[in-house]
Amino acid sequence: MLAPTARLTEFDTLPFWHEADLRGRMEWYRAVAANRLPAKFRICASLPAGVALDAPEDELWRALDAGTERFLALKEHIRTGAPLPGDCPRTSLLELIAELARRMLAHCNFCRWNCRVDRTRGEKLGACKLAAGTRVSSYFHHGGEELVYRGTHGSGTIFFTSCNMRCAFCQNGDISTDRLNGEEATARTLATMAWVLRLEGCHNINWVGGDPTIHLHSILEAIALLPGLEPSRDDLDAALSAKADRFAAFAPGREHMLFEGGFNAPMLWNSNFFMTDETMKLLRLTMDVWLPDFKFGPGRCAIELARTGWYWDTLTRNLLLLREWGEDFTIRHLIMPDHVECCTAPVLDWIATHMREAPVNIMDQYHPDNYCAPGDAKFMERYRPLARRPRREEILAAYRHARERGLRFESLSYERSKTGVML
């Protein structure tokens, strides 16, 4: 088994960093993963909130805007070699971020449904059907993500229960459609899960579901606990029961998890990106790398297959924010049977027009699942056209389209190709 420091070096020097699709991209993520730079949450922990946390919510948002300016200036200094200041002795910007998510929970506008229900009371539920509690289906070293995320020791993936979309073909239907799946987890338990995954060598903490957006308050509270976290035996016991690979042999190593003596790990937002501006603002200060899932074209497919309105406008607006903010991200697009013309082509065209340099994974692993799987008790006849894998010619058409548009997709898409199809 590799020594912990060897894991860092090994990941940091893997050949994919020099591939054309990734060259010059993801440098912030790469440096944080290798502990050459602090994660964003560490920078936020070093800055003052600039407001008392019991102030009215609009004052908190104004303080966040001012704090964002200070954050960006400090991040740039640190990126170019300045040291990370110590943790702020007063209320920090990181605590303000967690408080804002708590305030949002009382009139929930985490995602574009903008349900405005008070999830702290739980008397009325929104589209995600969740009150304030958070459940984790499982967490583990994920060896199935893109190489840039799974590296040599896996992506530290935490799967949350439930979702705010209703994709008929969901490839994680057991998690996304069953809100009671998994185990209840407090913010401290979530923080301990992240701590354990990083201690064991994971290259990032991968917040995913279902969708993580609907658990925003718990995730941001967990991240706010990470600076200085030292889990107790009870914390570890609470966290380990949901760990899918708890009996696998990983060599824990504190050297792997530290930057200037404090916990460090890149935070990865792996989401359907159906989020509000407010959620994006909070995540901008806490996520080091983003993995948006861009599924549907601008027609009616999002409504018909996922019962989701405002899809195209919301996704494209949030992706444009990533570009405007200069964030590190890769985009996923799943090829669906009979949806190359209406979904794959316009999605790829939009990326080529607005962010041609963005690395894209055009995924060919669609399989009939959830309401689209004949033989499954949940199967619905109206989804019969989706009850097959994409044909070889559909996959080739998707790849050809991407190549003709000059997209950076080959290294991300081909290395995990299920069908071995490539141009």
In one letter, which amino acid is 161?
T
- Residue 110 binding ligand SF4, by CB under 6 A: yes
- Residue 111 binding ligand SF4, by CB under 6 A: yes
Of 336, 393, 341, nearest in space to 366 by CA:
336
**Which residues are bridge partners to 262 per DSSP?**
259
HEC string for the chain: CCCHHHHHHHHHCCHHHHCCCCCCCCHHHHHHHCCCCCCHHHHHHHCECCCCCCCCHHHHHHHHHHHHHHHHHHHHHHHCCCCCCCCCCCCEHHHHHHHHHHHHHCCCCCECCCCCCCCCCCCCCCCCCCCCCCEEEEEEEECCCCHHHHCCCCEEEEEECCCCCCCCCCCCHHHHCCCCCCEECCHHHHHHHHHHHHHCCCCCEEEECCCHHHHHHHHHHHHHHCCCCCCCHHHHHHHHCCECCCCCCCCCCHHHHEECCEECCCEEEEECCCECHHHHHHHHCCCCEEEEECCCCCCCHHHHHHCCCCHHHHHHHHHHHHHHHCCCECEEEECCCCCHHHHHHHHHHHHHHHCCCCEEEEECCCCCCHHHCCCCCCCCHHHHHHCCCCCHHHHHHHHHHHHHCCCECHHHHHCCCCCCCCC
Under a CB-based contact definition with an 8 Å cutoff, are residues 212 and 271 in contact? yes
Query: Contacts with ligand SF4 in 190-249 (CB under 6 A)?
Result: 214
For the chain, the distance separating the N- and C-terminal CA atoms, rounded to the nearest angstrom, is: 37
**Cβ proximity to ligand SF4, 257 vs 305, nearer residue:** 305
* Binding range to ligand SF4, per CB under 6 A, among 112-120, 186-194, 294-302, 337-345: 112-120
- Residue 167 binding ligand SF4, by CB under 6 A: no
Q: How far is the CB of 182 from ligand SF4 (least distance, A)?
A: 17
Under a CB-based contact definition with an 8 Å cutoff, are residues 37 and 31 in contact? yes
* Binding range to ligand SF4, per CB under 6 A, among 26-34, 111-119, 289-297, 380-388: 111-119
- Residue 68 binding ligand SF4, by CB under 6 A: no
Q: Which residue minimizes CB distance to ligand SF4?
A: 126
**Cβ proximity to ligand SF4, 110 vs 139, nearer residue:** 110
Structure tokens at 395: 């996959």
| Count of residues that interact with ligand SF4, criterion CB under 6 A | 14
**Cβ proximity to ligand SF4, 92 vs 181, nearer residue:** 181
Q: Which of 50, 126, 266, 390 binds ligand SF4 (CB under 6 A)?
A: 126
**Cβ proximity to ligand SF4, 46 vs 164, nearer residue:** 164
Of 370, 378, 361, 256, nearest in space to 4 by CA:
256
- Residue 108 binding ligand SF4, by CB under 6 A: yes
Q: How far is the CB of 354 from ligand SF4 (least distance, A)?
A: 25
- Residue 182 binding ligand SF4, by CB under 6 A: no
Q: How far is the CB of 164 from ligand SF4 (least distance, A)?
A: 4
**Cβ proximity to ligand SF4, 108 vs 187, nearer residue:** 108
* Binding range to ligand SF4, per CB under 6 A, among 49-57, 113-121, 133-141, 281-289: 113-121
**Cβ proximity to ligand SF4, 201 vs 212, nearer residue:** 212
Q: How far is the CB of 88 from ligand SF4 (least distance, A)?
A: 29
Pairing of strands 155-160, 135-142: antiparallel
Q: How far is the CB of 110 from ligand SF4 (least distance, A)?
A: 4
Q: How far is the CB of 108 from ligand SF4 (least distance, A)?
A: 3
Q: How far is the CB of 181 from ligand SF4 (least distance, A)?
A: 16
* Binding range to ligand SF4, per CB under 6 A, among 121-129, 262-270, 347-355, 393-401: 121-129
Q: How far is the CB of 128 from ligand SF4 (least distance, A)?
A: 3
**Cβ proximity to ligand SF4, 155 vs 270, nearer residue:** 270
- Residue 109 binding ligand SF4, by CB under 6 A: yes
**Cβ proximity to ligand SF4, 259 vs 274, nearer residue:** 274
**Cβ proximity to ligand SF4, 119 vs 188, nearer residue:** 119
Positions touching ligand SF4 (CB under 6 A) are 108-111, 113-115, 117, 126-128, 130, 164, 214
